[in-house]
């Protein structure tokens, strides 16, 4: 396969050059996380009952646990009085809220090893956070994301994600909002609904489906194994999902992460991000936006990193070395029980 595919949400071309897959040099080798960590780690700042860097002690929590990030990138204590920028430049206070969400008291499990109830509890926590943060004066937008695996820069395996609630909208989502609005104006249809319709009609890239939720490798995937998880009904943020929709989403989310881990029988690294509409805007601004979750896995093969270089960093467009249809088929075949389910968490 050798062609360019249009990414309608980002409004950019992706060069798909899957014929280069077998070229002799194809990326950096990274080490695998072979050893399973203990169920409780006395030195972990996320485990129940342990002290964090600022002296606060984590409660003996049972489900999820949310706390303000001890090293926030945005926060209410960010300096309000700034050095005036040089002429022609702009600056402003880095206000907002940064939090950490622990998925489970167990140090040694991943999202894939939680029960459907466990994942649904996490989604309920995200909903509650969205509702609470919406009332915060410094918050216009909320990015919920998980970096998983050492190749994404995470050294602590304790299952957790982060919340950056900011005064600005992150660039990718801003682009998606604008693309959605333009598509709606031009066609009268919701862009993401058109994507869902195209994926269902083709069918080759669908990875999982349950009730009102679906997962697929998009036609225009930039990364190998890039996967979108979405409710079928268009909502602005996860907070608007009904209990049934949320449970379906939890089921599919868990299913996808199990497939990731089963693929190479190893904890599969990824960057997961919830793409949600900005919170403070006029109603028409986000018409045509559809909440979804994106997985961006950095590995192309076991321990083989997809390098971002000239095209991606230098130019801003992706060069994909893999066929989305092939990668989706691999994930579709990797379902079933989690490969290490005999030791998995029962909660």
> Which residues lie near Zn ion (CB under 5 A)?
41, 44, 46-47, 107, 158, 275
**290 is known as an active-site residue:** no
Give which of 99, 94, 100, 89 is closest to 77, Cα–Cα. Answer: 94
CB contact set of 298 (below 8 Å; sequence gap of 6+): 149, 151, 152, 223, 269, 270, 271, 305, 306
Of 139 and 177, the one with the shorter C-beta distance to Zn ion is 177
* Entry field: residues in the chain: 347
| Residue 4 Cβ vs Zn ion, minimum distance, rounded to whole Å | 20
H-assigned helices in the chain: 116-133, 171-187, 191-202, 243-264, 324-332
CB contact set of 116 (below 8 Å; sequence gap of 6+): 247, 250, 251, 254
What gap in Å lies between CA 74 and CA 133, rounded to an integer? 14
Nearest position to Zn ion, beta carbon = 44
| Residue 272 Cβ vs Zn ion, minimum distance, rounded to whole Å | 12
Of 41 and 150, the one with the shorter C-beta distance to Zn ion is 41
Of 217 and 334, the one with the shorter C-beta distance to Zn ion is 217
What gap in Å lies between CA 107 and CA 156, rounded to an integer? 9
Beta strands, E only, the chain: 2-7, 12-17, 28-29, 65-68, 96-102, 141-148, 160-166, 206-210, 213-216, 227-231, 270-275, 292-296, 299-301, 304-305, 319-320
Of 107 and 183, the one with the shorter C-beta distance to Zn ion is 107
| Residue 29 Cβ vs Zn ion, minimum distance, rounded to whole Å | 28
Of 145 and 264, the one with the shorter C-beta distance to Zn ion is 145
| Residue 292 Cβ vs Zn ion, minimum distance, rounded to whole Å | 6
| Residue 257 Cβ vs Zn ion, minimum distance, rounded to whole Å | 18
Report which DSSP code applies to 30: -
Decide: 67 and 51 in contact? Cβ < 8 Å: no
| Residue 155 Cβ vs Zn ion, minimum distance, rounded to whole Å | 12
List the strands of the sheet with 2-7, edge to edge: 2-7, 12-17, 319-320
The tokens for 132 are: 């609470």
What gap in Å lies between CA 224 and CA 222, rounded to an integer? 7
Of 67 and 264, the one with the shorter C-beta distance to Zn ion is 67
Alpha-carbon Rg for the chain in angstroms? 20
| Residue 83 Cβ vs Zn ion, minimum distance, rounded to whole Å | 35
Active-site residue identified among 7, 107, 158, 160: 160
Of 9 and 94, the one with the shorter C-beta distance to Zn ion is 9
> What are the backbone dihedrals phi and psi of residue 142, each rounded to the nearest 5 degrees, phi first?
-130, 120
Give the catalytic positions in this structure: 160
């Amino acid at each position: 396969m050798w062609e360019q595919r249009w990414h309608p949400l980002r409004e950019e071309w992706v060069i798909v050059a899957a014929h280069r897959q077998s070229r002799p040099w194809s990326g950096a080798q990274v080490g695998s996380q072979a050893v399973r960590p203990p169920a409780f780690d006395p030195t972990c700042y996320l485990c129940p009952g342990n002290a964090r860097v600022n002296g606060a002690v984590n409660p003996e929590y049972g489900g999820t646990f949310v706390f303000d990030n001890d090293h926030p990138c945005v926060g209410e204590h960010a300096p309000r009085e700034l050095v005036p920028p040089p002429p022609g430049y702009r600056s402003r206070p880095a206000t907002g809220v940064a939090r950490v969400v622990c998925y489970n008291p167990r140090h040694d499990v991943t999202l894939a090893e939680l029960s459907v109830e466990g994942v649904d509890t996490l989604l309920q926590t995200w909903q509650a956070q969205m509702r609470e943060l919406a009332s915060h004066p410094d918050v216009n937008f909320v990015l919920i994301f998980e970096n998983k695996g050492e190749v994404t820069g995470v050294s602590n395996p304790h299952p957790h994600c982060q919340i950056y609630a900011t005064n600005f909208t992150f660039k990718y989502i801003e682009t998606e909002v604008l693309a959605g609005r333009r598509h709606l104006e031009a066609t009268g249809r919701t862009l993401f609904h058109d994507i869902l319709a195209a994926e269902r009609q083709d069918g080759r890239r669908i990875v999982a489906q349950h009730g009102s939720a679906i997962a697929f490798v998009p036609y225009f995937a930039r990364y190998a194994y890039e996967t979108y998880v979405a409710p079928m009904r268009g909502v602005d943020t996860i907070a608007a999902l009904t209990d049934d929709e949320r449970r379906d989403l939890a089921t599919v989310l868990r299913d996808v992460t199990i497939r990731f881990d089963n693929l190479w029988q190893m904890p599969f690294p990824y960057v997961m991000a919830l793409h949600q509409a900005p919170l403070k805007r006029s109603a028409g601004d986000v018409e045509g936006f559809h909440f979804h979750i994106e997985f961006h896995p950095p590995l192309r093969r076991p321990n083989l990193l997809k390098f971002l270089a000239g095209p991606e960093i230098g130019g801003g467009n992706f060069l994909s070395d893999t066929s989305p249809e092939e990668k989706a088929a691999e994930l579709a075949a990797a379902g079933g029980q989690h490969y290490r389910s005999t030791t998995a968490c029962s909660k």
